[in-house]
Amino acid sequence: MSRSAQSNDIDLRSLSVDELIALDAKILELIKSKRQTLQAKIAMIELHMGPLPEGPRKRGVKKGTKLAAKYKGPNGETWSGRGLQPKWLTALVGRSGSVEKYRLR
Residue 61 lies in a domain: no
Q: Domain limits at 87? A: 71-102
Kindly report, residue by residue over 81-94, the tens digit of the pLDDT: 888 999 999 998 88
pTM as predicted: 0.41
Q: How many domains does the chain have?
A: 2
Cα(74)–Cα(92) distance, integer angstroms: 9
Q: What's 97's DSSP letter?
A: S
Residue 34 lies in a domain: yes
Residue 40 lies in a domain: yes
- Contact by Cβ (8 Å): 62, 81: no
Residue 38 lies in a domain: yes
Q: What's 100's DSSP letter?
A: G
Q: Which residues contact 69 (CB under 8 A, 6 or more apart)?
A: 78, 79, 80, 104
Kindly report, residue by residue over 35-82, the tens digit of the pLDDT: 999 999 988 888 888 776 777 766 777 777 888 999 998 899 999 988
Residue 56 lies in a domain: no
